[in-house]
Amino acid sequence: MRGKVVLITGASKGIGAQTAKLLASRGASVLVNYFSNEEAANQVVSDIEKGGGQALAVRADVRDEEQVQQLVDEAIHAYGRIDGLVNNAAMSFIRKPFLELNWQEFSQKLNDELKAAFQMTQAVLPHMVEKRYGRIVYVATGLAKTPQVPFIAHGTAKAGLITFGQYIAKEFGQYGITANIVSPGLVETDRTANQPQEFKDRMAQMTALKRIANPADVARAIAFYVSDDSRFVTGSNTFVDGGTTMP
Taking residues 18-47, report their average pLDDT.
98
Given a cut of 90, whether residue 125 has pLDDT beyond it is: yes
Taking residues 11-24, report their average pLDDT.
98
% of residues, the chain, pLDDT over 90 = 89
Q: Which has the closest alpha carbon to 179: 130, 235, 227? A: 235
Question: How does residue 26 score in pLDDT terms, banded at 50, 70 and 90?
Answer: very high
Question: How does residue 140 score in pLDDT terms, banded at 50, 70 and 90?
Answer: very high
Query: Span 5-239: which CATH code?
Result: 3.40.50.720
Longest dimension (CA), the chain: 52
The rounded distance, in Å, linking the Cα atoms of 145 and 148 is: 10
Least confident of 60-69, 147-156, 159-168, 184-193: 184-193
3-state helix, strand, coil in the chain (%, to 5): 50, 15, 35
Mean pLDDT of the chain: 96
CA distances from 216 to 15, 17, 23, 176, 224 (A): 7, 9, 11, 28, 12
Per-residue pLDDT at 194: 76
Per-residue pLDDT at 191: 75
Element (H, E) at 118: helix 103-131
Question: How does residue 199 score in pLDDT terms, banded at 50, 70 and 90?
Answer: confident
Q: The pTM is what?
A: 0.95
Q: Domain residues of the chain, as ranges?
A: 5-239
134-139 and 84-87 strand pairing: parallel
What burial class does residue 147 get, using C-beta atoms within 10 Å of its C-beta: 0-12 exposed, 13-18 middle, 19+ buried?
exposed
Q: Is the peptide bond before 126 cis (omega within 30 degrees of 0)?
A: no
Strands (DSSP E) found in the chain: 5-8, 29-34, 54-59, 84-87, 134-139, 177-184, 237-240
| Amino acid code (one letter) for 32 | V
The rounded distance, in Å, linking the Cα atoms of 35 and 218 is: 21
Element (H, E) at 203: helix 197-205
pLDDT in tens, 34-66: 999 999 999 999 999 999 999 999 999 999 999
pLDDT in tens, 221-239: 999 999 999 999 999 999 9
